[in-house]
Structure 1
């Protein structure tokens, strides 16, 4: 062991991420070093690797294990209507302006298991905009995308999701949006039908459409400064003039070279592209 529960050090993490890039094309080399070190040490503990050599051998020689590796490196923490005031701001200030467009294209980057995408679909439904909207929800992790496509959430999470919904300004009976089945609830197909879930790697993949709203919340904090700049440029290239970019509570556009082209909307981490 190195320092308590630490099995890997920073140099070993660097070697492993270079292996993964060379062998499989997944580029984690510009993720923040502290986050990678923490998550890979957690992986060693969970899967009983006693040394760096054991983990490296498994990753290099077992392509099936790669999916497990990617799951633990990428961040999949999410919930419906997370940060209710953010969704309240979307409801009050942003969606009415988007509603003037003949068709609304939205990109949720780093969608994890899809709770944010379904939350936004509910907001669009209540604003009577869902019929002319399409939400592209992307993630690097194929496992969470498969979960997102099923539109199923644990019954145990429902109470907090309903509370978040109400705090975001939701007035409807939330049970209108799902069918209960023992320990799970399945969200309605009318929400699912306006969502496109697909794999997209923010590190290596290009822009794939032009959007009126892009949400990427609590993803950039795991990237180093250079990679943050690269991803923000990708979003800028993907966003229509007068479109909106929403980031996480600890993320900002303020110090980016792109900042002069944007104006912050209210107190939320939402910026409007002015030129």
Structure 2
């Protein structure tokens, strides 16, 4: 009705309104689509970005990101979660070693897709696993993420030395056949992993929100990524994985993720419910 003015929004409502406008603006300006990411997580991370860039409101942050591409590049770390570790959830990697890799060994060559690879801990973990099972030389590993800085770190394969003790313990718990230290050299308080492990790794930009399938693969490992998506985007991502997988291919998810109740639940069978490992239905 003309002339009727709605009561003022409370701060939380106004924040969410500005957040929605920010995500739409980022999509239209830079073609990164965060609009179907989980709102609770985005609220927290956008507030962190506001503090980092000294912005008193989401609108002020939006102005800076739209007009300063270099600032947006720095802010990407707040929109994409870069939390990972080598052999995270060792039982998952042990299950891959015992149940999945013996099947992959029956193929003359293999392709593995690590979707949302972050700073590369899982990629290097899988490379070591494939090496120990005699598969690395005939496997192409696709490591994808939307954050260019994260991809650069992943490709570099250098990690803080003080993380190695935890990584080593997880490696052994995952059924490691040697010592993790056999795969890296140390210098300047860091650990640099053997360059030979990444000879068949392709690091590439790919968005689960906007991009299509790029290759046929035998295993997709996308762990602790879907928890930051809303249901519609989760379903889109799982649909991509299904389309990418070969007949009877494998899908691995994070410990808090599941296909249950999703749009593609009936297109996969459970290999290990505990370790969130699935197989494409024939």
Q: Same fold per TM (> 0.5)?
A: yes
- Offset of residue 8 of structure 1: 7.1
Alignment of 1:151-162 (within 5 A): 151-162=157-168
- Offset of residue 171 of structure 1: 2.8
Q: What are the ranges of 5 or more consecutive residues in structure 1 without an aligned counterpart?
A: none
CA–CA distance in 1 between the matches of 2:143 and 2:150?
Answer: 11
**1:251 paired residue number:** 257
Which of residues 230, 233, 241 in structure 2 aligns to 1:227?
233
1:79-125 Cα offsets, whole Å, 9 max, x none, are 10011111111111111111111101000000001110000010111
- Offset of residue 70 of structure 1: 1.7
Which of residues 25, 28, 52 in structure 2 aligns to 1:22?
28
CA–CA distance in 2 between the matches of 1:262 and 1:224?
Answer: 20
Q: What are the ranges of 5 or more consecutive residues in structure 2 without an aligned counterpart?
A: 1-9
**SS of 1:243's equivalent?**
strand
**1:207 paired residue number:** 213
CA–CA distance in 2 between the matches of 1:110 and 1:189?
Answer: 21
TM-score in terms of structure 2 length: 0.93
**SS of 2:220's equivalent?**
strand
- How many residues align? The count is 272
Farther-moved stretch of structure 1 (24-33 vs 137-146):
24-33
CA–CA distance in 2 between the matches of 1:53 and 1:175?
Answer: 48
1:61-87 Cα offsets, whole Å, 9 max, x none, are 111111122221111100100111111
CA–CA distance in 1 between the matches of 2:13 and 2:231?
Answer: 27
CA–CA distance in 2 between the matches of 1:8 and 1:164?
Answer: 44
Q: CA RMSD, aligned part only?
A: 1.6
**SS of 2:203's equivalent?**
strand
CA–CA distance in 2 between the matches of 1:262 and 1:148?
Answer: 30
CA–CA distance in 2 between the matches of 1:110 and 1:29?
Answer: 17
**2:116 paired residue number:** 110
1:269 matched to 2:276? The reply is yes
